[in-house]
């Protein structure tokens, strides 16, 4: 998790009631006479908005930190109150920003800031008091339905999503998998009518901010005409689709061997419940079924870390040393004093790994319940990537203290994690010798089952929502559209006929939680593009899946030059500063996985691929 001015929108629906007052307050300018507004008025408004939001954001961040690290009813209420104040001000200023945005004489910098402000609310509420209250109530209900969801078996066991996900990951019995898969999807049908009404209200709110619908509002944040953005995504998908299709073909063949071709036909989509994940978005849990049989990883990083006596602090110190080797300044002393590294025994905390810049200056922190294993070693490098990005742009204007677009922040952290290679581990003394290439296929397969398998799901979630927001399907068609897109992009299908009231999209948190999802697709593309360019800057001439930029200050300088920009420039300008390219480019991912692609093509000879 990382912080931008949009961070509070995750709780917006619970807190929107307070915006009613601002939306109707007499201090809000009269929108019936926009001709009175001038470019100087807009500049003054932006300066004032920055000052108001900056102060409230720091207060909100501190309370959010306390709540995450000391979970009680009191800290929950205090955090909600701080968030409420910040969110209400966001709403008020977004409505005003929409008015100033229409002034024709605006300079580009002011217009950019106004657009960030007016589009910075994920789910805008209408100004109407009753509708705003209804929007808030719907948001609370949807969040409660998802959070409290469980499935009760005939034997009386009631399992939540975590336990049902464990079954999806571990079981190889198709009937057991099917029951868990269907069981979780019983949580979402009651959400459908509420969600449909929320879409109506959010579209009305988006219209008041000057957008055709909510999807247009979300797509307006990408420095291009909103109507062009879907085509850009399809272009990127087209570049990497052959690799996904090869992975899909191999997975389908191996699953057919295990479950039989009656259950897994070899010429169609894969049943969604067989891929090791509740949403079939990450296939890493079925790695043993798909692994190159003759290949094994040549080292066990978890065992090495434990044998060397690593603990939570030395794991983080290793991550800091990576960035220091690139020329980045060491983390401030307060980072070590204020971060949470180990789960306390005396209280409840949110253990989900996250990176914070509490005061938007130098109060950097991470919050993790670190375990000494390979996964957390990688996660630490990732989270520190967020921290160094946050510090790099902290001198920018308030509205520009975030990633160039919402895919950049995650991509930076993921890029750093790609440099955790055998060569890097040898340089820091965790491996005596760099293993030969015999284990590379196993490592590439593991990464592909996480990253490549995710891409079409990361793409289609918002493709579905954008059509819903645009009114291209009604609630009766929600589920049909969901599975049409899943089959089109992922090549997966529902394992059985879906009930008439099914709302399977609602079984994925980000839909009822109203979290835009395209950012995750973009991050997967960008991380490999960043990595390839940094390897070129570092002068590494080997295969990029073995490249680590550790110790290369020239790569560090180029990376920092992009990070310092924050969101101050259109993302193509910032991308060009690092990569020399003005377009996102998925071919870097193909370069990275080239040995795996070659192996998959060999395995797939004689198989009927596609669906």
Active site residues: 383, 510
| Residue 474, phi-psi category: left (phi > 0), alpha (psi -120 to 50), beta (remainder) | beta
First to last CA, the chain: 36
Tokens of 374: 């390979």
Measuring CA to CA, which residue among 410, 363, 370, 371 is closest to residue 391?
Answer: 363
d(CA 389, CA 381): 12
SS3 per residue for 443-501: HHHHHHHHHCCCHHHHHHHHHHHHHHHCCCCCHHHHHHHHHHHHHHHHCEECCCCCCCC
Whole-Å CA distances, 331 to 372, 497, 563: 21, 54, 16
Phi, psi (rounded to 5 degrees) for 151: -125, 130
d(CA 317, CA 336): 10
Other beta carbons within 10 angstroms of residue 6's beta carbon come to: 18
Cite the DSSP H helix spans in 260-407: 287-290, 301-307, 312-325, 333-338, 374-392
Measuring CA to CA, which residue among 571, 265, 298 is closest to residue 412?
Answer: 571
Contact 422, 452 (CB under 8 A): no
Tokens of 378: 């990688």
Phi, psi (rounded to 5 degrees) for 604: -85, 0
Other beta carbons within 10 angstroms of residue 513's beta carbon come to: 17
Contact 591, 534 (CB under 8 A): no
Measuring CA to CA, which residue among 196, 244, 202 is closest to residue 16?
Answer: 202
Tokens of 221: 């944040």
| Residue 86, phi-psi category: left (phi > 0), alpha (psi -120 to 50), beta (remainder) | alpha
How many helices (H) and strands (E) the chain has is answered by 26, 6
Contact 280, 246 (CB under 8 A): no
d(CA 545, CA 97): 45
Other beta carbons within 10 angstroms of residue 41's beta carbon come to: 14
d(CA 340, CA 367): 5
d(CA 89, CA 86): 5
């Amino acid at each position: 998790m990382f912080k931008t001015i949009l961070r509070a929108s995750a709780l917006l629906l619970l807190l929107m009631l307070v915006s009613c007052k601002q939306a109707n307050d007499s201090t809000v300018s009269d929108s019936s006479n926009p001709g009175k507004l001038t470019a100087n008025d807009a500049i003054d408004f932006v300066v004032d908005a920055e000052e108001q939001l900056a102060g409230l954001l720091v207060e909100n961040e501190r309370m959010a930190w306390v709540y995450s690290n000391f979970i009680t009813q009191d800290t929950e209420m205090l955090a909600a109150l701080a968030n409420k104040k910040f969110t209400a001000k966001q709403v008020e200023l977004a409505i005003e920003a929409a008015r100033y945005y229409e002034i024709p004489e605006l300079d580009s910098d002011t217009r950019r800031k106004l657009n960030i402000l007016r589009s910075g609310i994920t789910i805008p509420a209408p100004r109407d008091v009753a509708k705003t209250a209804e929007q808030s109530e719907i948001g609370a209900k949807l969040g409660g339905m998802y959070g409290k969801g469980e499935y009760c078996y005939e034997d009386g066991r009631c399992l939540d999503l975590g336990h049902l996900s464990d079954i999806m990951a571990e079981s190889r019995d198709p009937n057991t998998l099917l029951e868990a898969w269907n069981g979780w999807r019983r949580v979402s049908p009651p959400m459908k009518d509420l969600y449909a009404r929320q879409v109506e209200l959010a579209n009305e709110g988006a219209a008041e901010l000057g957008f055709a619908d909510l999807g247009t509002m979300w797509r307006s944040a990408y420095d291009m005409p909103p109507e062009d953005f879907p085509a850009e995504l399809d272009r990127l998908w087209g570049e990497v689709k052959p690799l996904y299709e090869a992975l899909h073909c191999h997975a389908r063949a191996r699953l057919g061997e295990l479950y039989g071709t009656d259950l897994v036909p070899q010429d169609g989509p894969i049943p969604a419940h067989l891929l090791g994940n509740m949403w079939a978005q990450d296939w890493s849990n079925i790695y043993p079924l798909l692994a190159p049989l003759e290949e094994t990883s040549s080292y066990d990083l978890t065992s090495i870390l434990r044998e060397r006596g690593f603990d939570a602090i030395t794991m983080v110190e290793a991550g800091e040393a990576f960035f220091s080797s690139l020329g980045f300044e060491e983390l401030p002393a307060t980072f070590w004093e204020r971060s949470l590294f180990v789960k306390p025994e005396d209280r409840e905390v949110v253990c989900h790994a996250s990176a914070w810049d509490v005061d938007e200056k130098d109060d950097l922190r991470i919050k993790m319940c670190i375990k000494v294993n390979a996964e957390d070693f990688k996660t630490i490098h990732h989270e520190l990537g967020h921290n160094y990005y946050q510090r790099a742009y902290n001198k920018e204007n308030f509205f520009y203290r975030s990633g160039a677009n919402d895919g950049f922040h995650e991509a930076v952290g993921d890029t750093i994690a790609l440099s955790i290679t055998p060569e890097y581990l040898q340089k820091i003394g965790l491996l005596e010798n760099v293993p030969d290439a015999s284990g590379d296929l196993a490592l590439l397969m593991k990464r592909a089952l996480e990253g490549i398998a995710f891409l079409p799901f990361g793409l289609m979630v918002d493709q579905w929502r954008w059509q819903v927001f645009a009114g291209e399907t009604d609630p009766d068609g929600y589920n049909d559209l969901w599975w049409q897109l899943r089959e089109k992009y992922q090549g997966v299908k529902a394992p059985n006929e879906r009930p008439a009231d099914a709302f399977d999209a609602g079984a994925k948190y980000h839909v009822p939680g109203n979290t835009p999802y395209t950012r995750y697709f973009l991050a997967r593309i960008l991380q490999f593009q960043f990595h390839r360019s940094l390897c070129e800057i570092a002068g590494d001439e080997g295969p990029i899946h073995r490249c680590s930029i550790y110790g290369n200050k020239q790569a560090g300088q180029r990376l920092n030059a992009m990070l310092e920009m924050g969101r101050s420039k259109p993302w193509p300008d910032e991308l060009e500063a690092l990569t020399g390219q003005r377009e996102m480019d998925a071919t870097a991912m193909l370069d990275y996985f080239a040995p795996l692609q070659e192996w998959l093509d060999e395995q797939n000879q004689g198989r009927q691929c596609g669906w």
